[in-house]
Amino acid sequence: MGYLLAASVVWAFSFGLIKTYLVGLDPVLVAAGRLALAAAAFAPFLGRARVRGRGIPLVLGLGGLQFGAMYVLYIMSFQWLPAWLVALLTIFTPLYVVILADLRARCFNPRHLLAAAVAVAGAAVVLVQGGRTVAYDWRGVALLQGANLCFAAGQVWYPDLKRRIGGHDLGLMAWMYQGAVLVVGIVALARGAPVGTWDPGAVVVLLYLGLVPTAVGFYLWNKGTLSVGAGALAVTNNLKIPLAVLVAWLVFGESAPYGRAVAGLALLLAGLWIASRSPEEGRG
């Protein structure tokens, strides 16, 4: 659980940085830059995973899905949504995690579903304002839901990949980042993504996002998936939401419902408690 919590704190700062410094740049190019930096940082560890033969397309494909496709959809959503609302609209990821985990296990765990629903409610408390949801552009919502589904699938299937291929997590993640760069690179070439004008601040922010929230954050997250059950994993997906709202308000000066973020965080903790009561939780 410690790995998941650390990743959530790291990610909470990325929403405001993207909206403040990178929103005017091509989103696919930004995603490619972040993933290329992560792939370069992890390249020395490629030999630490026993990836060969038919395992190569598996690990590249999972990286392309969880990081490549997710990042393209996620960063594009910033064109239509404010940073704190991007954070909030990831609220359905816990449900995707539980559904995919149940499909993988060929069973139904109602306690996990309840925990995920409480996690969604915790994030929704922050989203709902005066009995009405905040106005948003449906294009951004659709892009985010696609990103959520890609990320949920990757984290659910990573433990299976680890068991099948073996090797060190650093090596597996190194190969996954290569697959992610491949996917985003193809998309960038197909779109003819313009380079645009990069000021020094944008370059520094991109370096930070690529090396910390992307490279380190996703490594911590996937490593954390190996030690928790589906219920706790699902709920923890939403911890970054109230944290990001608080960061957007405190650090970046955005108008954000910080009071409801605290209430939402309390519900998320309740969801973790519900998940911890499941007899299946210790098995992952």
The tens digit of pLDDT for each residue in 225-240 reads: 998 989 999 999 988 8
- Do the beta carbons of residue 284 and residue 226 sit within 8 Å? yes
Residue the block writes with tokens 């005066």? 130
Q: Distance (Å, rounded) from C-alpha 159 to C-alpha 170?
A: 14
The pTM (predicted TM-score) of the whole model is 0.85
Q: How confident is the model at residue 127 (pLDDT cuts 50, 70, 90)?
A: low
Q: Which residues contact 117 (CB under 8 A, 6 or more apart)?
A: 95
**Six token digits for residue 26:** 């091509």
Burial class (CB in 10 A: 0-12, 13-18, 19+), 277: exposed
229: left (phi over 0), alpha (psi -120 to 50) or beta: beta
Closest CA to 238 of 153, 134, 120: 120
DSSP 61-85: HHHIIIIIIHHHHHHHGGGTS-HHH
Quote the pLDDT of residue 246: 74
Q: What is the distance, to the nearest Å, from the Cα of residue 5 to the centroid of all Cα atoms in its chain?
A: 13
Q: How confident is the model at residue 178 (pLDDT cuts 50, 70, 90)?
A: very high
- Do the beta carbons of residue 73 and residue 188 sit within 8 Å? no
Q: What is the distance, to the nearest Å, from the Cα of residue 165 to the centroid of all Cα atoms in its chain?
A: 23
Q: What angle do CA 143, 148, 153 make, to 5 degrees?
A: 130
Q: Distance (Å, rounded) from C-alpha 2 to C-alpha 91?
A: 21
> Quick one: what percent of the chain has pLDDT higher than 70?
86
> What Rg, from alpha-carbon coordinates, does the chain have?
18
